[in-house]
Structure 1
């Protein structure tokens, strides 16, 4: 059995259902930070939306996952074509860390650490309540971050919905949730 490449390892979950995922990305750190914070760059891997990078400010994320997929037909049943969330920054330390509240979904933190020519991204998501949300968020971050890795490496990004579906099955099996 071959080892899973670092940038495709599954997220880990602790006993409090805190998701943690790490990825090595090509630097410099400012380039990675731009992909996290600038709407046009972030839209290519996650969601659009202008951010005022100050603690206490709110911002809207707009997901159009069909645009990140090979076909809208891949979209799982029950998911809308577009979804939106108004989040609020708790902490911003450009270009190394941002933490925000995502109402009903928890708290998200992105941390960036320079490692020579690379940048270590650590994504932490706290407050995941319920098995369905837990599985959807694990698969969602895995699929979205796979697109970020591809974007920064300058290669074609995988289809979001196809990756999400595969990852959701994998996380469900790994976590033995039904």
Structure 2
């Protein structure tokens, strides 16, 4: 048993498991809903993956390894910054895709978070990305504003409110 935080998020998407799998693993599709990033890999067990900026800089803000890939049911990856020193090892993200009639239950479990601060970050990040993914799959368009912008605005307002000046 670990004292390290774990984040779990469940969403329901009107799509097939194959469509959800494709949206999680196709670089061009991830670029549509993942805010200026795409996910690059061949998605084979043991392969590397990168969360690459789409600005042409070639910078990967997150990297990891594919631990498990069972299309279209389950994808497990490690996740860390490219230069992070994490004594307990990288985070681990599991995507479980379960069909139910005309919908899919997508469960994202992010384990081995380094601390409560990382938990707060992923608690804002995953719901934003998954809301955009859901909207994209159901409508063919992403949300009109990036949900992560709301978090940044709330954080800035909170910092201004707590500023003793």
Please give the range of the TM-score, normalised by the shorter of the 2 chains: 0.7 to 0.9
Q: Distance in 2 between matches of 1:151 and 1:92?
A: 23
| Alignment partner, residue 30 of structure 2 | 42
Aligned pairs (5 A) from 1:83-94: 84-94=61-71
Note the C-alpha offset of 1:83.
5.2
Q: 2:44 aligns with which of 54, 74, 99?
A: 54
List per-residue Cα deviations over 1:23-66 (Å, max 9, x = no partner).
000111111111000001011222313221211111211146x9
Within 2, Cα distance between the matches of 1:107 and 1:90? 9
Separation of aligned partners in 2, 1:150 and 1:88: 27
Match of 1:124 in 2: 109
The change in CA–CA distance for 1:44 and 1:33 in structure 2 (over 3 A counts) is same
Structure 1 residues 19, 168: closer, same or farther in 2, change over 3 A? Answer: farther
Structure 1's consecutive aligned runs of 4 or more residues displaced over 4 angstroms after TM superposition are 166-169
Question: Does structure 1 residue 153 correspond to structure 2 residue 143?
Answer: no
CA RMSD of aligned residues (A): 2.5
Unaligned runs of 5+ in 1: 1-13, 67-81, 170-178
TM-score normalized by structure 1? 0.69
Bigger radius of gyration: 2
Aligned residues: 140
